[in-house]
Amino acid sequence: MALKNSTDRGALERLLLSRLPRKEISTLVQSYTQPYRELMSYYRCAMMEVETKFNVLNEELSLQYDRNPIESIKTRLKSPESIAEKLQRRGFPLTVESIEENLNDIAGVRVICSFPSDIYQLADAFLKQDDITLLQRKDYIAEPKPNGYRSLHLIVETPIFLHDQKRMMRVEVQFRTISMDWWASLEHKIRYKKDLPELDHVNRELFECAQMSAQLDARMEKLQRLAETAAAEQHADSRRGERRSGPLTR
């Protein structure tokens, strides 16, 4: 007999489950969810690998330039609801294999930098590493989205080393300045993906705020350059002064 609808199916599932001993139910659930949990764990490992790479770069560059180019790093694993929604929206099957095959942003690493130039320097240094393969690059800083969104997005593949195998995993890396992140986080709260009617004045003002944030980035970067140049000149002056006064005689 074919089941008429999901209510029938639900009732049947409940009946069957009520007759199974607790232990068997737990084994059953485990067997269904294990492959998904394993895959999510691999993505977590890939995020750890990528996060470590950025921490290493931050440490090294901070010695070289006397400041940290990275303000903070955030990692996130896409939620089961978002995964299901995205697969459905794109017409892909809801299976563990399909997640790995069709989605690039299950593992997300967001690198918040001080200045726009830090973003490109870090992205270049990261992509030069021989275990990182670039799959896709979207530069929304050079070409912001029509709503004003700015960020540099990379989809990369990186290996994770498990006890018995090496696995290649995809990770989405988003680079933003504090100002880009501030705008994107608030815009996300105000509008992004909400089924709102088109509110022209809200869109326009959000776009203006994005432009203000871009101007602030440019000004701050300019100030940083001026300060760096002034510090370098001062340092050179004091070295010249030291050389003129010659070695100390006793």
Give me the residues that bind ligand 0O2 (CB under 6 A), please: 78, 104-105, 138, 145, 147, 149, 153, 184, 187-188, 192
Nearest CA to 40 out of 78, 75, 87 is that of: 78
Residue among 203 and 224 whose Cβ is closer to ligand 0O2:
203
Cβ proximity of 170 and 50 under 8 Å: no
What token pair was written down for 135? 């799959």
Distance of closest approach, residue 184 Cβ to ligand 0O2, in angstroms: 4
Shortest distance in whole angstroms from residue 237 CB to ligand 0O2? 46
**Shortest distance in whole angstroms from residue 186 CB to ligand 0O2:** 8
Separation in Å, CA 133 to CA 80, 124, 127, 128: 26, 12, 7, 9
Please identify, using beta-carbon distances, which residue of 10 and 93 lies nearer to ligand 0O2: 93
Residue number, 120 or 182, with CB nearest to ligand 0O2: 182
CA 15 to chain centre: 44
Q: Torsions phi, psi of 113, nearest 5? A: -105, 165
Residue whose CB is less far from ligand 0O2, 46 or 61: 46
DSSP state of 110: E
* CB nearer to ligand 0O2: pick between 53 and 78: 78
Longest CA–CA span in the chain (Å) reads 107
How far apart CA 200 and CA 184 sit, in angstroms, is 18
| β-strand partners of 133 | 157
Tell me which H or E stretch contains 104: none
Q: Least distance to ligand 0O2 from the beta carbon of 189, Å? A: 9
Cα dihedral value 147, 176, 141, 214, nearest 10: 70
Alpha helix stretches (DSSP H) within 66-199: 80-89, 96-102, 116-127, 178-190
Output the smallest distance, CB 185 to ligand 0O2, in A. 7
**Identity at 89, one-letter amino acid code:** R
Minimum CB distance to ligand 0O2 smaller for 61 or for 158? 158
**135: helix, strand or coil:** strand
Q: How far is the CB of 49 from ligand 0O2 (least distance, A)?
A: 20
Nearer to ligand 0O2, 56 or 186 (CB): 186
CB of 154 vs ligand 0O2, minimal distance in Å: 10
